[in-house]
């Protein structure tokens, strides 16, 4: 299983570590380990802890280079807190800092997966964070929810538990709507749910419910059960793994899952461009299991190379992702004589609708 803990849960309101919460969580993981459940922890909080040391009570900055420096100060403190929480229950921890290269290149991806396997075999709880000190994209746009979903796919987890400062997904924002109610089970993440998602509730982390929905959608393609639950709820992780009712919001896994390589194409690699297709090409992809032929491409966006990931859009939006058979410039040159020319081979294509 993979457990992700957000910044607002790892830290207290004054910016220090919530030692009680970390200790309770590690005690849960130790009990689960005795019954054969191995755990990986994905933790936020490096920037929050670093700023508690350096900020002097000032508001959290937004400048990317400054946030990177702050995270470098907070990261060793974050790992030390997890080490201290694991020691009383006999759980050693190991730090794993991941960046885009660990997911974007197949060989590096497999190497990272092997590292996780060895750590788990040794009885170590891998404590994972984005390599914030050198990865500005994560600090500016993302949260560790997506990273947790990618790690869950990488290690072949059966469960992903996202612990946060709210009880789960609501029908509306409970801060402004008294009639908002908790959604306990989600069969599939659809456009209506995504529209209802809100931003970061605490102001401490960089993500919100929208990033958790995206993570749940990614994990569902791997056959992983996802639960969003309150970090301060007793036995949240244990009950989520056991399938207990009313833990939070649980997202059902897809019955038809994708093989590891296609998961890597669909979610682990950065998108470099977009191919827009006509209705005939969309139907051939969606119902015929065909390769995408250049004849069905009506638009090429981005400056991508052969082998880079492109999104495939039709009139209704995102349809698939795949590895470009040729670069954008070469595809554009060949559109005049497009008969039979492949833009994306079916073995390199992943339907996402």
- CATH code for position 282: 2.30.130.10
**Burial of 18 from C-beta contacts in 10 A (0-12 / 13-18 / 19+):** buried
* Residue 78 and residue 140 share a domain: yes
Segment 68-76 shows an average pLDDT of 92
- Measured from the Cβ of residue 58, the count of other Cβ atoms closer than 10 Å reads 8
Task: Output the pLDDT for position 202.
Answer: 44
How many helices (DSSP H) and strands (DSSP E) are in the chain?
A: 14, 15
pLDDT band at residue 181 using 50, 70 and 90 as cut-offs? confident
CB 42 within 8 A of CB 1: no
218/306: higher pLDDT = 306
Task: Output the pLDDT for position 205.
Answer: 40
* Residue 347 and residue 203 share a domain: no
pLDDT per residue over 7-61, tens digit each?
Answer: 989 998 888 999 999 999 999 999 999 999 999 999 999 999 999 999 988 988 8
Provide the residue range defining the domain that includes 70: 2-260
* Residue 140 and residue 54 share a domain: yes
pLDDT per residue over 83-141, tens digit each?
Answer: 999 999 999 999 999 987 788 788 898 999 999 999 999 999 999 998 866 665 544 43
For the chain, what is the domain count?
2
Q: Which residues of 222-243 are buried (b: 16+ CB within 10 A; e: fewer)?
A: bbbbbbbbbbeeeebbbbbbee
pLDDT band at residue 338 using 50, 70 and 90 as cut-offs? low
The answer for residues whose C-beta is within 8 angstroms of residue 8's C-beta and 6 or more apart is 164, 165, 201, 202, 204, 205
244/173: higher pLDDT = 244
Run of H or E residues at 260:
helix 260-263
Q: Pick the closest to residue 85 from 30, 123, 160, 15 (CA basis).
A: 30
CB 204 within 8 A of CB 13: no
Task: Output the pLDDT for position 176.
Answer: 82
Q: Out of 30-44, 61-75, 233-247, 334-348, pick the least confident.
A: 334-348
Q: Is residue 55 part of a domain?
A: yes
- The structure tokens 């495939």 sit at 312
* Residue 281 and residue 254 share a domain: no
């Amino acid at each position: 299983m993979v457990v992700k803990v957000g910044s607002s849960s790892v830290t207290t309101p004054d910016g220090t570590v919530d030692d009680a919460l970390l200790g309770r969580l590690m005690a849960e993981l130790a009990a689960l380990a005795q019954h054969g459940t191995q755990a990986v922890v994905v933790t936020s909080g490096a920037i929050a802890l670093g700023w508690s040391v350096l900020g002097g009570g000032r508001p959290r900055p937004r400048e990317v280079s400054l946030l990177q420096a702050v995270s470098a100060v907070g990261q060793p403190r974050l790992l030390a807190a997890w080490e201290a929480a694991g020691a009383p229950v006999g759980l050693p921890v190991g730090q794993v800092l991941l960046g885009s290269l660990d997911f974007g290149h197949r060989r590096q991806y497999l190497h990272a997966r092997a590292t996780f396997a060895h750590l788990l075999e040794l009885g170590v709880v891998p404590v994972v964070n984005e390599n914030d000190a050198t990865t500005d994209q994560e600090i500016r746009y993302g949260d560790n929810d997506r990273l947790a979903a990618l790690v869950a796919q990488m290690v072949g987890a059966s469960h992903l538990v996202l612990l946060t400062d709210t009880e789960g997904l609501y029908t509306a924002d409970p801060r402004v709507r008294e009639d908002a109610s908790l959604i306990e089970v989600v069969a599939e993440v659809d456009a209506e749910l995504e529209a209802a998602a809100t931003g970061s509730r605490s102001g401490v982390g960089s993500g919100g419910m929208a990033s958790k929905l995206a993570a749940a959608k990614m994990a569902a393609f791997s056959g992983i059960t996802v639960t969003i639950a309150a970090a301060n709820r007793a036995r949240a992780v244990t009950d989520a793994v056991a399938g207990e009712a009313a833990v939070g919001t649980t997202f059902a896994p897809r019955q038809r899952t994708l093989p590891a390589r296609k998961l890597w194409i669909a979610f682990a690699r950065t998108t470099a461009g977009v191919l827009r297709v006509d209705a005939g090409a969309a139907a051939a992809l969606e119902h015929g299991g065909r390769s995408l032929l250049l004849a069905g491409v009506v638009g090429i966006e981005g400056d991508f190379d052969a082998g880079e990931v492109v999104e495939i859009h039709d009139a209704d939006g995102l349809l698939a992702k795949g590895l470009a058979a040729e670069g954008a410039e070469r595809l554009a040159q060949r559109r005049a004589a497009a008969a039979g020319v492949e833009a994306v081979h079916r073995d390199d294509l992943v339907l996402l609708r």
